[in-house]
Amino acid sequence: MVRTVEGGDIYAFVVGTGLVRASERNLSWSTLGNGFGSAYVLHLAVDPTDRNRLYAATFDPANHKGDVLASADGGRTWSAYEAGR
């Protein structure tokens, strides 16, 4: 999964590493975290008004379950998404 957002940030999910981010200006990648267990990130959305608020659709092939997770700290920690929060 690779996602670019307005402003030039690039996000990617790398198996074994987790979620990483770089700026188009310098392409210096930094690891944000791997709070997904054995799940893969299939889709990622970044709040256009707050780049620290991220949403991830995940799938865990071990148990065949998907989830939607949210992060309020730029992807360092994740919790189950709750609508309206």
pLDDT one digit per residue (tens) for the chain, 85 residues: 899 988 889 999 999 899 999 998 888 899 998 889 899 999 999 999 999 999 999 999 999 999 999 999 999 999 999 876 5
Neighbours of 19 (CB within 10 A): 26
Task: Please count the CA atoms within 13 angstroms of the CA of 40 that sit on its side-chain side.
Answer: 10
| Spatial separation of the C-alpha atoms in residues 26 and 23, rounded to whole Å | 6
Q: CA torsion sign, 73 to 75 to 77 to 83?
A: positive
Q: What is the pLDDT of residue 25?
A: 82
pTM of the entire structure?
A: 0.87
Q: What is the pLDDT of residue 83?
A: 76
